[in-house]
Amino acid sequence: MDAAFDLDRWEIEGGAVRADHHADGETRRASGARSLNRKASLAEKPVYPALARHQGDETEWDYQPLYAILGEWFDRFNDRFRLLLPRVPLRLDPTIRRNCAGYFRPGHNEFGLVYEIAVAVPPLAQLATVDVGDLLGTLLHEQLHLLQELTGLPGQNNYHNAQYPPGLRPGVPAL
């Protein structure tokens, strides 16, 4: 009985019944119902894909072309490394401190959205000189933080620990 209520097992296995991740980003139990795993279910809310669509469609947003590239690569990394991550808010932020390329926020942001990935981008005047390769490296790094948050044991205060980067699924090409 104690093993059934072990918190680590509960979160890793998605509740009392093992959760399976699907290509649509949803986590479902064997019955087809959504997961009881609170971590996975938070990112399943309809606001997240709606926000991603809005960011991709907002042509008057100066960072929209860069968002389109990063959004495409989010999906490519997800597919290539079989991360099975749900789409989460992607913040393109020119105000992140200089010594930080980006961050993953495991909790809620000021809008009540959870699991935000932020990437430091240059101010608009310098946008033409951006090194997209650096941004893609940051994006993948933060996606691995999200993977660790959803499937592993994240480090305290979002720091790296012995489990970062989290183990990829069997048959997934190495990074």
User: What is the residue whose two structure tokens read 């069997």?
Assistant: 170
Q: Is the pLDDT at 37 greater than 90, yes or no?
A: no
Alpha helices per DSSP H over 127-168 = 132-151
At 54-103, the pLDDT tens digits run: 999 999 999 999 999 999 999 999 999 988 888 888 999 999 988 899 99
Q: Is the pLDDT at 38 greater than 80, yes or no?
A: no
Q: Is the pLDDT at 1 greater than 90, yes or no?
A: no
Helix-helix angle 64-80:132-151, to 10 degrees: 50
Q: Is the pLDDT at 157 greater than 60, yes or no?
A: yes
**Per-residue confidence (pLDDT) for residue 174, from 0 to 100:** 59
**Per-residue confidence (pLDDT) for residue 8, from 0 to 100:** 45
Residue 100 tokens read as: 């930080």
How confident is the model over 13-37, as a mean pLDDT?
A: 41
Is the omega angle on the peptide bond into residue 46 within 30 degrees of 0, that is, cis? no
3-state secondary structure of 169: coil
Residue 125 tokens read as: 């005047």
Comparing CA positions, the residue from 119, 109, 121, 163 lying closest to residue 139 is 119
When comparing pLDDT for 4 and 54, which is higher? Answer: 54
**Per-residue confidence (pLDDT) for residue 13, from 0 to 100:** 43
**Helix H or strand E segment including 102:** strand 102-108
Q: Is the pLDDT at 129 greater than 70, yes or no?
A: yes
**Per-residue confidence (pLDDT) for residue 26, from 0 to 100:** 44
Q: Is the pLDDT at 113 greater than 50, yes or no?
A: yes
In this structure, of 52-56, 107-111, 160-164, the range with the lowest mean pLDDT score is 160-164
Q: Is the pLDDT at 25 greater than 90, yes or no?
A: no
Total-model pTM: 0.72
Q: Is the pLDDT at 11 greater than 60, yes or no?
A: no
CB atoms near residue 133 (< 10 Å): 8
